[in-house]
Chains A and B, each alone.
Chain A
């Protein structure tokens, strides 16, 4: 039980990493993140149905496409609201979310679709535990992505420039950091993370226009618990939430797992508003 919770937690971590990256760099909460996941899932779904491509393999095409869409969105929407009032930032990304959701609804209909592959119902048994192949893959992908991102942020030139920009945008731009380009790159990478998780989720989850909302609520809870903007925090928080939800599903009812998320959310805010790995006051940073 705990193990299957951990595996689901891996998926949540995966979902939250992109969100964390975008918030960490741009200080914008991307309400449309779930819709990028949805878009990727539909991409993987159609690639499978029309061309017979494996959902995991389709990531090679879907992820770059979504990355490019993300860059476009940054250019035409995010860039213009970067220094706008809070309410405007919220409504811009929220409007984007409503728009994308209903574009999908209009063109692809509200049906729940699923992809069946050879490994959909396959499971491995490790040390006496039975693990489903798809959630194991998702878990591994989450760990790889998080490690990669942390490595990039800490050990490469681009990563250092990004962190410098997060600390002080103005000073970084004086030191020759192209902040506009980095912003666009960060947003693109953030939604590309969403795309990766979308492709990985396709074989294990239903694909439908509002799937993003279902997924992203949990991801938001994870981001807050992890201390907004910390990648490592997001991974650990994802695992915690995964276990908590699995236990609720088992002892209470599956229906109540989102209610548990809400309760957990409020409890976190009461006891530790900066999250597990956030510095004190990080919840205020968005204000300045």
Chain B
């Protein structure tokens, strides 16, 4: 199999994992974050800076990235939990924009807009591989990790709390659901998994600049895949990414960024208006009939 197809496979798994992490907050908790690109970026930059500038092993970078991303996510989202619905999304939307400005200007650490290139030294210790097949396996494992966690939450108590809170926060609270605590837990899980995605992104692409990770378009893409697959279903993000990532690869080969994102916007609109439950959700309700 050639590298072009392998790349699409790697990206399919990676996007499924990222979208799945987002789905935990949005699909189950009703916390529609438009700021996940910031979490991805912080995770990616943590490993990249430690590895490229200080020569520290990416595995340590991964741990630092998870810790840092989760901490910042908690710090930012805690006050935002006071907001409900669209206003929460609004608040999260500001976050990647601020991060991009910060990354552009904090040149001593992030090297600003010229970006960070990671030295290509293949070894397991560096999480850099010669063959894209290894990346594909790793991305698949990451996707399965997200899927398993989602499945466990879906079946477990936390999922019930989350769905109850999503559907009616006041009623859930009166039944004894501690909504802020539940929101914090799911945000931390989601942020940690997104940070792992960021680590993978940095070690796979081996180049980072502020717009490539902090752009709001990344947040849109993450959300879109879950939405198409089915919000609040464990399988939804995977189905969405399986369908959209190869399509996106083909699209961007033929047309440039503007028309491609135009199609994204149109797809988003059509899905919301025509099939708000997504593929998995629509299939489920069709089967139950």
* A residues less than 8 Å from B30 (CB atoms): 86-87
Count B interface residues, CB 8 Å. 48
How far is it, in angstroms, between the C-alpha of A105 and the C-alpha of B265 when the chains are bound? 13
Q: Which of A4-43 contact B (CB under 8 A)?
A: 28-29
Q: Which of A233-271 contact B (CB under 8 A)?
A: 253, 255-256, 258-259, 261-262, 265-266, 269-270
Main secondary structure of the interface of A (DSSP, over half): helix
State which of A86, A259, A273 has its C-beta within 8 Å of the C-beta of B32. A86
Q: Is A82 an interface residue when CB atoms closer than 8 A count as contact?
A: no
* B residues less than 8 Å from A284 (CB atoms): 84
* B residues less than 8 Å from A92 (CB atoms): 268-269, 272-273
Pairwise interchain contact B264-A220, C-beta atoms closer than 8 A:
no
Q: Could you give, for residues 191-206 of chain A, a 1 whenever the CB lies within 8 Å of some chain B CB and a 0 otherwise?
A: 0000000000000000
Count A interface residues, CB 8 Å. 49
Q: Is B216 an interface residue when CB atoms closer than 8 A count as contact?
A: yes
Q: Tell me whether A90 and B87 are in contact in the complex, defined as CB-CB below 8 angstroms, given that A81-B272, A84-B276, A99-B269 are known contacts.
A: no
Q: Is B152 an interface residue when CB atoms closer than 8 A count as contact?
A: no
How far is it, in angstroms, between the C-alpha of A29 and the C-alpha of B88 when the chains are bound? 11
Which residue of the partner chain B has the closest CB to A284?
Answer: B84
* A residues less than 8 Å from B79 (CB atoms): 266, 269-270
* B residues less than 8 Å from A262 (CB atoms): 94-95, 97-98
Q: Tell me whether A259 and B101 are in contact in the complex, defined as CB-CB below 8 angstroms, given that A81-B272, A221-B94 are known contacts.
A: yes
Of B9-17, B117-125, B200-208, B255-263, the one with at least 4 CB within 8 A of chain A: B255-263
Pairwise interchain contact B101-A255, C-beta atoms closer than 8 A:
yes
Q: Is B109 an interface residue when CB atoms closer than 8 A count as contact?
A: no
How far is it, in angstroms, between the C-alpha of A94 and the C-alpha of B223 when the chains are bound? 11
Pairwise interchain contact A95-B83, C-beta atoms closer than 8 A:
no
* B residues less than 8 Å from A81 (CB atoms): 272-273
State which of B83, B261, B264, B266 has its C-beta within 8 Å of the C-beta of A283. B83
* B residues less than 8 Å from A151 (CB atoms): none
Q: Which of B17-58 contact A (CB under 8 A)?
A: 26, 30, 32, 34
Pairwise interchain contact B227-A258, C-beta atoms closer than 8 A:
no
Q: Tell me whether A259 and B98 are in contact in the complex, defined as CB-CB below 8 angstroms, given that A29-B86, A90-B86, A266-B76 are known contacts.
A: yes
How far is it, in angstroms, between the C-alpha of A99 and the C-alpha of B93 when the chains are bound? 17
Q: Could you give, for residues 214-225 of chain A, a 1 whenever the CB lies within 8 Å of some chain B CB and a 0 otherwise?
A: 000100110010
Pairwise interchain contact A102-B87, C-beta atoms closer than 8 A:
no
Known: A102-B259, A217-B93; 7 extra A-B contacts, CB below 8 A, are A29-B86, A29-B87, A88-B276, A89-B85, A95-B268, A101-B265, A287-B85
